[in-house]
Amino acid sequence: MIPRMPPQEARLGFVYSAPFRIQGVSVAGEQAVVHVPELDLVFDIGLCPRPVLASPIVALSHTHMDHVAGLPYWFSQRAFQKMPGTARCLVHPKMVEPVRRMMAAWVDLERQQTPHEIIPIEPDSEYQLRPNMFIRAIEVSHTTPALAFVVIERRSKLRDEFHGVSQERLRELRGQGVEITKTIEIPLVAYTGDTEIGEFLFREEFRQAQVVITECTFFEDEHRDRAKVGKHIHVEDLRPLLEAWTARDIIIGHVSRRTLIPFARERIEAIAGPDRAKSVHLLMDHRSNRTRHENQVAAFENSAGILKGQKGELSSGTPGGSALDMPTSTSEMTVDGIDGHL
């Protein structure tokens, strides 16, 4: 008898929520790694699939093996492939020294020093990702010190009392030292990490985030107690969270392998309702996510074709070309909506 070939390694789950690609593998007890290329950021790193090497920062929610085991390899591979910058890992302050000791053990094993930075990030503190963007840590409740993260963009906005004031007058006021703008915060992507439900998940950062990536480990009714003991989210906990979160897309990871995807979808629809359930996606539901992405591509190509036709009609009737200012190349208008950056 000829033996079967070995099973293929886990494929990356993929959900596109413009302009963010949410990709990775998240299976309870096995591995959790969620990559958002547009933010140059990785949430957790239980293993190290090749695409995550491109991002220089890991935000580590906690130090259970299925969330941290890929960290030394990620550090090593970025250095080995001569990727720019020193790889950095943001860690709960209580777990910084254990992670540093783990990396020190690899120095003894390999007889070489891998460049890396272990950076403590206190709950409710921030780490700057870009000039106008930072990541905020939020303390959550798990069986080990744990953090959730929210990536937030800061923007300057004209104060309400100056709406309608002429540009010339605004320049005068600014020259006089008058503060005419205010800074607003826009939560972009929130990540719960492993946690039980708590008030921390109802904070404004989570309520207002455009995309929320949440764990949901247990779906069976008889596993409510197991969720409490392990300090994980049960599908019934999603009921109030889905009511509170205004995110256009909610992405669920950390589902146990024992839970079948169709059953998980049934439970989600039962608690969320058919309309809200349309915005809830299981990261490892490859079939549904592939169909959704194909529909997104088709819708984009259709709209791009319409715009191209409109531009051609206008160009043919307007000397000197079109008055419309629209993208005409794939570098300006891509399926992903952006070219790796916000």
Which strands, in side-by-side order, build the sheet including 31-36?
Answer: 13-17, 20-27, 31-36, 41-43, 57-59, 88-91, 117-120
pLDDT at 338: 28
β-bridge partners, 152: 134, 187
What confidence score (pLDDT) does residue 27 get? Answer: 95
State in Å, rounded, how far the first CA of the chain is from the last one: 54
Closest CA to 92 of 168, 8, 7, 193: 193
Per run of 10 residues, the mean pLDDT along the chain (length 342 residues) is: 82 95 96 97 96 97 98 97 95 98 95 96 97 97 98 90 85 85 93 98 98 97 95 97 97 95 96 95 96 94 80 54 32 29 30
Tokens of 183: 């800074």
pLDDT tens digits, 115-166: 999 999 999 999 999 999 999 999 999 999 999 999 999 998 888 888 888 8
- Domains in the chain with CATH codes: 13-294 (3.60.15.10)
Per-residue pLDDT, 315: 57
Backbone φ and ψ for 153, nearest 5 degrees, come out as -100, 135
Query: Angle at Cα 102 formed by Cα 42 and Cα 105, nearest 5°?
Result: 135
Name residues whose C-beta falls within 8 Å of residue 70's C-beta, 6 or more positions apart in sequence. 31, 33, 45, 46, 47, 48
Res 324: pLDDT: 29
pLDDT in the model for residue 309 = 73
Query: What pLDDT score was predicted for residue 316?
Result: 53
Q: What count of Cα atoms within 13 Å lies in the side-chain half-sphere of residue 77?
A: 15
User: How far is residue 197's CA from residue 20's CA, in Å, rounded to a whole number?
Assistant: 26
Beta strands in 216-271 (DSSP E): 249-253
Confidence (pLDDT) at 323: 32
Q: How far is residue 53 CA from its own chain's centroid?
A: 16
